[in-house]
Chain A
Amino acid sequence: MFESLHKLLRVDSEPLENVEFMHISGEASGAGLANYSFLLHHFLSYFIKNSFRVCLVSCSQSLTQYKLIESKLGVNLERVANESQFTFVSLLTLLMEDSNTSKEKVDSYITHDPVSSIVSAVKDKLSPPTTSRQPCLLILDDLTALHDIGVTTSDILHMVCELKSGCTCVSTIVTTSLRLSESTHSEEAVSLDKQLSHWSELLFHVDELSTGLSKDVHGQLRIHRLNSLTSGKGDAETYHYKVTDRDVKLFAVGASPAVL
């Protein structure tokens, strides 16, 4: 599965396990799931199959959503969770539980040092087996949702740093995803997206087709390998993609079967 993506990423020579910071951003104008989710689900199943411990911190979706899609990709999240290989943290549920569902308490929770509150809550949930030398993947999904409840860009970035540096695993990969839909295309969201991109070694940007919806081409994917010393526009490669039931097909721009 996802062989065309692995080929483009040169996984054989440059394993994904060596990448320490990845960032996925998606620009979706429609309602519902942003269309970057196929990448997120792929990385989730890929690293679980490669014996990584995975911690998924979701800011908007429920565990059921992930379970359904992962089962299609051949991963039983419930089973790996029982084996302590997978941990799911719903950030919004966590905030509501801790603040006893009172709106005033949620507000005070957010305004009064939200970084340390969220970080300590996530760390408690993680509780890793300290003896394990198993590499770990940390996924932070849909950080834009935190903007919606009033957390500032600066606090979100500090939270990412704290979670990254606070993780006790041997190696960590942080995948952050961001919706840049019309309603949330604010200056704050752009600033957050850019700073996360500056930290990334591997950057994915999923976008809809500028010409409109198509049955054969679902959108375009820009893959950007960033070297902090020499990064530039020329390092980015853009492809068209089509998501199927258990796979994604990538092809050069203008080279889809519908065109040829």
Chain B
Amino acid sequence: MLEDLINNLRCESSLLIKDSLRKSGACLIKSLTNQALSQQKPLLYINTEPLFSNRHSLGSLGVQNVDVFGQYDSLKERIMSSVSSANTVVVFPSISLLLLSYSVGRFAKLLRALRESDKVSSVIALMHTDVVLNEEIVDRLDYLFSSIIHVLLPESELSVYYAQVKCLRRKSNGKLETSEEYFTLDDACSLKLVHSSSSAVVRSYTQSQSGDVVSSLTFNLSLSDKEREAKNRLHLPYLKKDSEKQALLSQTHNGSSGRPLISIGDESSQTNPGGKIYYHYDEADDFDDEDPDDDLDI
């Protein structure tokens, strides 16, 4: 999936790359930049941090840079006014400092405005997870982007791979696709080899589009008209019929004139032939929880 995410920058997609000091994800930004340039897509770099040296400048020829450091009040307007060409790929080389000073809600609005813009093809952002330590912010960002690449140190110290990545992609039909892959870098710091350690898992995390849960079941829960009619006609032996219920209710009404509610042998026994036995403990009764045969060796 990593190769697919990098080589096929889809329209209206947003990609979040998460890295840390232990393993940088800047090489993925560079690969994505090169890919966009090879596809003749205009690139817009939003520099939320000052560029201290050339090593931080990941851009190359054909990249438009917009410096927004410290200008967070008019950030959205500045960025939107800078998007001039169609199919523009907007890149945030680092959003960590921005997230420390700018609320996630405002960033979400900015991201939504970019995704809804006709001129923006895709949005790519890099976040250092060891700088933004607030887990709530990280979790909320996970929901804002359609694809996420988490760059990690390979589990094995002796690994020949540069990094391990955990990819996640939300498809337009609501499916969630995940994968775990490894890659190396060549001398020019571009992706050289991608090895998938686990095949992509596809699972559904939302209901089907109709919203009818019953229709997606593998067994039948619904009834046909004929079956429903037969069901309604069936009289279960332990349930009273309506006429019996009415008769009991009328007896209850008459019971207020001094007649017993249920008595064995009178006329009501025709409607309730089984009768009932009520036992009231007498004062002389010696009720004990203990087993009377407890002393016997049975």
Contacts and interface: CB of A to CB of B under 8 A. Distances in A.
A233 B56 CA distance: 19
Contacts of A198: 21, 94, 96, 128, 131
- Residue among A154, A228, A231 with the highest chain B CB neighbour number at 10 A: A228
B27 A161 contact: no
Q: How large is the interface on B (under 10, 10 to 19, 20 to 34, 35 or more residues)?
A: 20 to 34
A67 interface: no
B133 A231 contact: no
Q: How large is the interface on A (under 10, 10 to 19, 20 to 34, 35 or more residues)?
A: 20 to 34
A56 B69 CA distance: 25
Given A228-B56, A232-B22, A233-B23, A157 B97 contact: yes
B128 A230 contact: no
A42 interface: no
Interface string B167-203: 0000000000000000001000100000000000000
A227 B55 contact: yes
A191 B132 CA distance: 7
B24 A194 contact: no
Given A161-B69, A198-B94, A191 B55 contact: no
A90 to B, nearest CB: 25
B97 A231 contact: no
A229 B26 contact: yes
A228 B55 contact: yes
A197 B27 contact: no
B100 A153 contact: yes
B185 A230 contact: yes
Q: Which 10 A-B pairs have the closest CB atoms?
A: A154-B100, A20-B53, A194-B130, A231-B24, A229-B189, A154-B101, A195-B131, A228-B26, A194-B131, A229-B27
29 contacts: A152-B100, A154-B101, A158-B70, A161-B49, A161-B50, A161-B70, A164-B52, A190-B130, A191-B131, A194-B20, A194-B128, A194-B131, A195-B97, A195-B128, A195-B131, A198-B128, A198-B131, A227-B55, A228-B55, A228-B56, A228-B58, A230-B24, A230-B27, A230-B162, A230-B185, A231-B24, A232-B22, A232-B162, A233-B23
